[in-house]
Structure 1
Amino acid sequence: MQTQQYDSLYLFINGQWLSAGDRETSAVINPANGTTLGRLPLATNADLDQALITAGESFPVWRNTVPDDRARIMKKAAALMRERAEHIATLMTLEEGKPLSESRDEVQRAADYFEWFAEEARRIDGRVVPANRPGVQQLVKRQAIGPVAAFTPWNFPAITPARKLSAALAAGCSVILKPGEESPATALALARCLDEAGLPKGVLQIVFGVPDKVSSKLITSPIIRKVAFTGSVPVGRLLSERAAAGVKPISLELGGHGPVLVFEDADIEEAATNGAANRFRGTGQICISSTRFLVQRNAYERFVQRFVEATENLVIGDGMEPGTQVGPLANERQLEKMAALVEDAVTQGATVLTGGKRINRSGFFFEPTVLANVPMSARIMHEEPFGPIAIMRPFDTIKDGLEEANRLPYALSAYAFTSSARTALDVGDGLEAGMIGINQYRIIATELPFGGMKESGHGSEGGREGIAPYLTNKFISQI
């Protein structure tokens, strides 16, 4: 079944839009009502072989395209994304479930990345190094690393592919992208913008399939020179092993379990109200989302009361409905995971302050949930929930707060709220995270690096740092 607003689905290989034909397909489900939006063609082994061959053949063509021309194509693609923003946002909400307002914002920010890295393409420079011998010229050049295999999840189907594609294309790399199979139409819409903007045929391939099969085929191919992955820690470890076998660099943006330190001198009302909005944005399916709210004891009761009130005032519904603030989870697996995490915590003594169960309606809806008195033995104190569950926990001193904030191997994002400049400096230095927000939850910007530490990954996307993983240094000494 194909809905009127939803695009037909394809593979994009060697500049050709390939329909299902006799290929295996998988259903794309609208998480708000459980209906089938379309059938997604899955790449055959021959399809993947063709994608690899094409990526290898197109790489020197694109690498040797002058930066101005690469930038012009990328900017034109960004303009097409903006022209088609409403349609792309609709696709995103239908297949991923987030409110339409969030989808619109995501499309605009995806376009921003293409514009930003279009300009970075013009700034790929090197240097002349004075020689210690007469008559010798020493040059350091930065050049595109080669064909890239990129893997992105379903939760941000525009901005996550955009970060990888924009940087890789700006550097001069060809790319094979495998987006999440739950939300394929959004990535295909971006690819169509690039294609119509004049990207040479074969520079970009979009494939779908069984994740383990596709990743194994692409990463182990000698054609691929660089791997980029956004997803879970266990899968990140697996792909790292595959990349290491071929001595290939890999950029990893993995999970998080974002701590929020709220000190008693903070604006408690603002920290709590905005904290609830941030926690349940995207139905909590955001890697940088705030999950563990660590509140100084004298402010704990006030914060929790306001947070619960704000949570209960959130509007839950189909993302296509005006006013919706919290949409459905992405799939049935996510629902089962949320129920299991809550049950485990409650069995061990946690208190459900609000929410805690599946909503009795069609689609994959789970109540925004706030837990308190969660014992350290509960799974949710160690596992990234990646769903609409918030944890409340008091602390006494800044030392106590930092110890709990830094306890886990995750180190993607962290937040702190205080009116003290001294405390802000201390927590900024003391928090172990790749991205930190002080007195704010919105910390992502096109011009800034996006990435984590520890088991949350390595490498950065966005900002001037974002293009570096797609470049390699070449030293030339010439007499």
Structure 2
Amino acid sequence: MTLTSYNPADPADLVLSVEPVGAAGTGAAVEAARAAQRGWLAAGAAARAAALGRAADAVEAAADELTALVVREVGKPVAEARGEVARTVAIWRYYAQAPFAPSGAVHEPAAGEGLLLTRRRPYGVAGLITPWNFPLAIPTWKAAPALAVGNTVVLKPAPEATACALRLAELAGLPAGVLTVVPGGADEGNALVSAADVVSFTGSTAVGRAVVATTTARGVPVQAEMGGLNAALVLPDADIAQAAAHLAAAIAGYAGQKCTATSRVIAVGDAYEPLAEALAKALATTPAADPASPQTVCGPVINEGALERLTQAIESARAAGATVLAGGQRAAREGWYLEPTLLEKVPADHPLASEEFFGPVAVLLPAADLDEAIALANDTRHSLSTSVHSRDLDTALAAADRLDAGMIRVNAPSSGVDFHLPFSGAKQAGYGAREQGQAVLDFYTASRTVTLLPAGGAR
């Protein structure tokens, strides 16, 4: 079956048509990567650092082209797409220095002469499975550190972002077998997870669990990022206008198609009424629009299936007694657009209040006090990112200590990631080691202890 990728803003626009490589092709790519890995490691730190630096330069030189491709293939608003390209360049440059990082330590022996060394060495072939919502940045923040420490990489991107992944690998210009993209779907993903020496996955919870089960059964290191049902806590003393602006950006930005997007807004006490009014107004002035326009914040959702799931969920919530405060309708334009939506009085057991829908939709929940707000925020299996909005630093810090999320942002949108810091969620939002920053270098390497004793016996 041919793999196709269409423009979500113009469903008649075919971006890419390519044949999937199949399980056999994926296995062949892994073997080619394994054959190339020894030479890639032996080339040395300076060669790897230079190669990653050249990749950064090539991506930077092609920034306009890549920005346009991201807008076209995944419907990301052009301002965000341009920011993603810049971030991708920065990630390549950040990890271009990693080959020179210490790879171990020297220790004193317990007795006698000699040396005890610890060294971190690459596993071999890193199998990477990436989503479509950050088609350049996520493949890069997985591939660059894996490559820096001496692994080779086989990347299986989401079908909807295959054109971006292929162009990224082409621009990186690495030696044959060092960075390979395998177009495909579940068959290719399963084959990669079953063959790679270390695996990093970002995607849905159901698929992530299967990836973890397969890799752990093989004894292979794995990290899995599986999304989040993210909350925002707004306290009565917060700057309501600022909080509403931050929340609107986190709900509607890129049509809510970020694992850190806000989907539950928890208003504490007297904050409820003014926040409901301010947030509904902010979302109403953030319409779903053409992603190629510099003013657009909320573009289309990724495909027709996603749009149908979202509209059906909204109608189901209405039927269950929910009230729509903003949006709730498809936009009156060609493409897969949904107006940014805010609902209140959504039953606690309704899927919109308990599951990730990956769209520009949020529910507004009341909490009598901070204790109840924290209990509501923590009442999820998918704790990735939570934001807290308050003028009281003591209260915000106290809340941060009690929240379960992997990332807690104070007076900022829940969306947003600093690539030089560790990134992961809590509970079922993530599994295994953290991504990004220096911490991920340990994930892509294994520690070895080496004992060196004098030749010729004891003196």
1:332 pairs with one of 304, 314, 318? 304
| 1:415 match | 387
Moved more, 285-294 or 38-47: 38-47
Does the 8 Å contact 2:396/2:410 carry over to 1? Answer: yes
Q: For 2:247 and 2:23, how far apart are their aligned partners in 1?
A: 46
Tell me the secondary structure at the aligned position of residue 107 of structure 1.
Answer: helix
| 2:456 match | none
Q: 1:469 corresponds to which letter in structure 2?
A: F
Deviation at 1:423, TM superposition (A): 0.6
Q: Tell me, yes or no, if structure 1 residue 453 matches structure 2 residue 426.
A: yes
| 2:31 match | 53
Moved more, 337-346 or 101-110: 337-346
In the alignment, structure 2 segments of 5+ residues that lack a partner are 454-459
Q: Tell me, yes or no, if structure 1 residue 89 matches structure 2 residue 54.
A: no
Deviation at 1:443, TM superposition (A): 4.2
| 2:181 match | 206
Please show how residues 17-416 of structure 1 align to structure 2 within 5 Å.
24-35=1-12, 36-195=14-173, 199-211=174-186, 213-221=187-195, 224-416=196-388
Does the 8 Å contact 2:381/2:427 carry over to 1? Answer: yes
| 1:10 match | none
Distance 1:124 1:336, change over 3 A: farther
In the alignment, structure 1 segments of 5+ residues that lack a partner are 1-23
Deviation at 1:322, TM superposition (A): 3.5
| 1:7 match | none
Moved more, 97-106 or 309-318: 309-318
Q: 1:464 corresponds to which letter in structure 2?
A: Q
Tell me the secondary structure at the aligned position of residue 160 of structure 2.
Answer: coil
CA RMSD in angstroms comes to 1.3
Q: For 1:86 and 1:446, how far apart are their aligned partners in 2?
A: 22
Q: For 1:27 and 1:190, how far apart are their aligned partners in 2?
A: 18
Please show how residues 430-441 of structure 1 align to structure 2 within 5 Å.
430-441=402-413
Q: 2:310 corresponds to which letter in structure 1?
A: M
Deviation at 1:131, TM superposition (A): 1.0
Does the 8 Å contact 1:294/1:393 carry over to 2? Answer: yes
TM-score (norm 2): 0.95
Does the 8 Å contact 1:435/1:443 carry over to 2? Answer: no
Q: C-alpha offsets along residues 237-294 of structure 1, whole Å, 9 cap, x if unaligned?
A: 0111111221111111111011111111111110012210221111001001111110
Deviation at 1:210, TM superposition (A): 2.5
Tell me the secondary structure at the aligned position of residue 401 of structure 1.
Answer: helix
Q: 1:115 corresponds to which letter in structure 2?
A: R
Deviation at 1:454, TM superposition (A): 0.9
Deviation at 1:367, TM superposition (A): 1.4
| 1:469 match | 443
Q: 1:333 corresponds to which letter in structure 2?
A: G
Q: C-alpha offsets along residues 410-467 of structure 1, whole Å, 9 cap, x if unaligned?
A: 1111110111121111111111111110111264212111111110013222211122
Deviation at 1:375, TM superposition (A): 1.1
Does the 8 Å contact 1:435/1:452 carry over to 2? Answer: yes
TM-score (norm 1): 0.92
Does the 8 Å contact 1:148/1:175 carry over to 2? Answer: yes
Q: C-alpha offsets along residues 175-231 of structure 1, whole Å, 9 cap, x if unaligned?
A: 100011112121122111211xxx2211111001122x112212222xx21010000
Tell me the secondary structure at the aligned position of residue 182 of structure 1.
Answer: helix
